Structure 1
Amino acid sequence: MTYHRFVALGDSFTEGVGDPDASRPNGVRGWADRVAAQLAGDDFAYANLAIRGRKLRQIIAEQIEPATQMAPDLVTVYAGANDVLRPRVDIDGMVEAYDAAIGRLASSGAQVVVFTAYDPGGSPVFGALRGRFAIYNELVREVADRHGATIVDFWRLRDYRDDRLWDGDRMHLSAAGHQRMAMAVLDTLGVAHDLEPLPLDERPVLSAADRRAANLEWARTHAGPWVKRRLSGTSSGDGLSPRWPTLAPVASA
């Protein structure tokens, strides 16, 4: 299928955090920009309304209506991970709101693409939340089935066990991770593309002491500020605007 109007919705995952590019708005690129470049043609436009730190209900309140007004024929939606990471979350209530939003997008005639969340089972930090994410993912699959949405099953993409597909903060995809996700989206849509995995650097095997030191540095540099924002009610996305707020042409890859 040929797409003409692609709108991407969500949080940091879709904004492109972890894939730096100083030439682009907010200083990032991301998988959605990479997908758009592959879909680009003479009659194609792309918008990206995602903002880092947004929770599911914020995404619904801020992004669904502007997206529908653009009359897209392709919409991607990633939402909910920031909610699931909170100390307390009503997953059923959250997905009820998500279901209504996906239904609204699907009823517009757009092809809607949704995502499961990554399986954190191998993570020493987020592994304790694996059960929450599994429940959330199963409910997302039900929503996709109900509304005929296409689902990119991040949970089953096992190559993301390689930490080189993740940024140094261990929460966002690296450039290689965003490239891999762009490939997964295009493959799921059945769109031919010329993307290839980005080269991965060789990394030395760390001793136990080196791993402890790396973990402590990560906690100081990334985990501490993240927890502080949660406790203070602030977000990394405060003051940011959508990177591509209106439909615009995209250069072909």
Structure 2
Amino acid sequence: MKWGVHTSTYRRYVALGDSLVEGVGDDRFTQDRMYAGWSDRLAVLLNRVALDENADFLYANLAVRSRNSEEILTEQVQQALALEPDLVTIMAGANDLWRPRKSWDSVRANFASAVEQLQSAGITVLLTNCINPIHHWSLQAGTQRSRELTKLIEDVAAQYSVDVVDVHRSPTLRRLRVWSEDRVHFGPRGHAHVANKAAKKLGLPYRVETPILHPRARDKMSLWEHAVWIYVHVTPFVARRLRGIAAGDSINPKRPVLSRVHDHPWTIRYSQSSPVVKVSFPQTSLVAE
């Protein structure tokens, strides 16, 4: 899905989503989730463009792990509207893939309503389609529904002329090495990949460097690695589900208000892209230092 790159410089960015946007699986997440995930990386790229123009840049991340599309497209959208951003990204639906009773009609209506509300407020919306869980055999039962959800998202995007970051068809995301040890969330390389795809879609002239992993990551797991994975990651997940507990229960967004991006850990490089022009935006009172 391509509507052409943007040429605006954004000053206030809000990210909406689930654990994939919150940054679960990134190398820094368990230490400091304030700088973890693809949307955080995208924020520092947007910030770099603002710095080039001696302008302030503000960022909020309302994503929380385990949130389904309905929660993201209703609750988080309302929270985002209150922050008065000029750019909102939405990655939603991964937690709907293994819920066969989920109505695609209601999901479509929620996506359409969310985009319409944001656009009516003068906000640029950037969607991602659905991840394609073919990188590990245990997740492949969700591939058909991921195709259905991707088509749904892209249909809504076409209706409202919204750009889509294509994670569903990405060859890179089919490789196990770009996913975290739990095989469910992006690893550092995966988060960097998605951030750079989003930056390209927005026409930004910068990219974050893809980290080099030590020891060298592989795309296959040994029997022992599978056994450890089941013990460390699968068993606790099943135990939570049996108790009716979600990983996101009692978790708050890591950046609930717009704040400045300081002291990030990533290396940024210049990349040829579409020109970026300065656009003025009103100030907001919902700012944290």
TM value normalised by structure 2:
0.80
Structure 2, unaligned stretches of length 5 or more? Answer: 1-7, 269-289
| Residue 192 (1) aligns with residue 192 (2) | no
| Residue 221 (1) aligns with residue 232 (2) | yes
Contact 1:111 1:150 in 2 (8 A): no
For residues 133 and 205 of structure 1, what CA distance do their matches in structure 2 show?
A: 21
For residues 122 and 175 of structure 1, what CA distance do their matches in structure 2 show?
A: 16
Aligned ranges for residues 162-173 of structure 1 at < 5 Å? 162-173=175-186
The corresponding residue for 1:120 is 133
- SS in structure 1 of the partner of residue 137 of structure 2: coil
The corresponding residue for 1:234 is 245
Amino acid paired to 1:21: R
| Residue 9 (1) aligns with residue 16 (2) | yes
CA deviation profile, 1:153-205 (whole Å, cap 9, x unmatched)? 10121111221210000000111111111111101111110422221442479
From 101, 104, 108, the equivalent of 2:117 is: 104
For residues 144 and 134 of structure 2, what CA distance do their matches in structure 1 show?
A: 9
For residues 47 and 18 of structure 1, what CA distance do their matches in structure 2 show?
A: 19
Aligned ranges for residues 15-164 of structure 1 at < 5 Å? 15-21=22-28, 26=33, 29-40=36-47, 41=50, 42-164=55-177
User: Which deviates the most, 84-93 or 216-225?
Assistant: 84-93
| Residue 181 (1) aligns with residue 188 (2) | no
For residues 164 and 204 of structure 1, what CA distance do their matches in structure 2 show?
A: 5
Structure 1, unaligned stretches of length 5 or more? Answer: none
User: Which deviates the most, 25-34 or 1-10?
Assistant: 25-34
TM value normalised by structure 1:
0.90
For residues 30 and 240 of structure 1, what CA distance do their matches in structure 2 show?
A: 16
Contact 2:16 2:63 in 1 (8 A): yes
For residues 64 and 162 of structure 1, what CA distance do their matches in structure 2 show?
A: 32
| Shift in alpha-carbon separation, 1:28–1:88, aligned structure 2, 3 A | farther
Name the count of aligned residue pairs.
Answer: 250
Q: Supply the RMSD in Å over aligned alpha carbons.
A: 2.2
The structure whose residues are more often helix, as a share, is 1
Contact 2:15 2:90 in 1 (8 A): yes
From 238, 241, 257, the equivalent of 1:246 is: 257
The corresponding residue for 2:278 is none
Contact 1:164 1:200 in 2 (8 A): no
Give the % identical residues: 35
- SS in structure 2 of the partner of residue 233 of structure 1: coil
For residues 239 and 88 of structure 2, what CA distance do their matches in structure 1 show?
A: 33
CA deviation profile, 1:31-60 (whole Å, cap 9, x unmatched)? 111111111132211000001111111223
CA positional deviation for 1:93: 2.0
| Shift in alpha-carbon separation, 1:225–1:193, aligned structure 2, 3 A | same
